Amino acid sequence: VEAAIRELHYRPNAFARGLMLRKSGIVGLVLPDLHGEFYSEIIRGANSQAREMRRNLLVSSALPGENAESWLSDFGQRGLVDGLVVMVSDTMASGIGATLAGLNLPIVMLDDEIDGVEHDAVVIDQRQGALAMMRHLVENRGAKNIVFVGGPETNIDTQARYAAYCATLKSSGLKFSKSNVHFLDFTYDSAYKLALENVNRWTGPHHFIFAANDEMAAGIIAGAIAKNVSVPGEIGVVGFDDTRVARMTNPRLTTVRVPMSRMGAQAVELLCQRIDDPERPEARIALEA
């Protein structure tokens, strides 16, 4: 038989197999967006772990203006994937939770959780990371004034980092000012523009800018330099994520390392474990920033 298999190049048919086993060997990875190094690294980690687990990886991100929920439920119920790794990121998209619950599929949430539904999760301890950064600015660098530049206000990462920002200001007796808080879109260009308009107001001894990702931090640095403001001489800028851009700014960026590819890998590992053993208790892995 083995000889015949080789001779005829026999390969079991995936559909017939799936029909009996109710398994495809495919795990889905659903991301809110595919732009930038953050998502790219998650895919890379997920791919590598999927290969390790002998699974295939189906990647998908909703197009802007598309009804992600109806697509997701349709897609999930056709049985093509054995489970899903889902990242939502936007706190406005609360309907997704109910949709996922209705799928009756193993789900691993990335960087988020949904109530009332059994699912595994991989989260990054962002609060701790953001607190560490803020503490660093206040305690080691004697920060007197810190500007916060976030992504969209409804973004879950922005919220976590903003909360740590507020908490640290309070606990260290620094004054909070609404005019020190800006919500952008995580891009270099918008941060660059913001810096052009505001950097003169921002500068001062022991003044810092805490950007919610590295790309915006890089944009702010470039904007400051364009306005002849010296970084870190007249103002300090720090970022978040530790993407490759953090090594490319001049000076190199102080940032918070987020294990992006590990997130993807861990999520896929958790998912495959649960597919193999549906009875396993819920797991929630927190990765350190």
List of residues contacting a second copy (CB under 8 A): 9, 11-16, 18-19, 24, 26, 34-37, 39-40, 43-44, 47-48, 51-52, 56-63, 66, 74-75, 77-80, 102, 188-189, 215, 218, 222, 225, 244-245, 247-250
Site string for DNA, 18-57 (x = CB under 7 A): -xxx------------------------------------
Contact assessment for residue 125 and residue 286, using Cβ atoms and an 8 Å cutoff: yes
When asked if residue 176 is in the footprint of DNA (CB under 7 A), the reply is no
When asked if residue 280 is in the footprint of DNA (CB under 7 A), the reply is no
Select from 157, 141, 140, 158 the least CA-distant residue to 149: 158
Nearer to a second copy (CB atom), residue 77 or residue 171: 77
- Whole-number minimum distance, CB 101 to a second copy, in Å? 13
Contact assessment for residue 238 and residue 176, using Cβ atoms and an 8 Å cutoff: no
Q: Which does 36 bind (CB under 5 to 8 A by kind): a second copy, DNA, none?
A: a second copy
Query: Residue 172 region, left (φ>0) first, then alpha (ψ -120 to 50), else beta?
Result: alpha
Residue 257 CB neighbours (<10 A)? 13
Residue in this structure with the two tokens 């349709």, named with its chain if needed: 74
What does the alpha-carbon distance between residue 110 and residue 118 come to, in Å, rounded to a whole number? 14
The residue range among 11-19, 41-49, 82-90, 134-142 that interacts with DNA, by the rule CB under 7 A, is: 11-19
By CB neighbour count within 10 A (0-12 exposed, 13-18 middle, 19+ buried), where does 118 fall? Answer: exposed
Please name every residue paired with 287 in a beta bridge, in sequence order, or none if there are none.
124
When asked if residue 10 is in the footprint of DNA (CB under 7 A), the reply is yes
Nearer to DNA (CB atom), residue 19 or residue 34: 19
The residue range among 16-24, 59-67, 167-175, 278-286 that interacts with DNA, by the rule CB under 7 A, is: 16-24
Contact assessment for residue 250 and residue 32, using Cβ atoms and an 8 Å cutoff: no
When asked if residue 4 is in the footprint of DNA (CB under 7 A), the reply is no
Q: Which does 201 bind (CB under 5 to 8 A by kind): a second copy, DNA, none?
A: none
Contact assessment for residue 198 and residue 235, using Cβ atoms and an 8 Å cutoff: no
Contact residues toward DNA (CB under 7 A) are 10-13, 15-17, 19-21
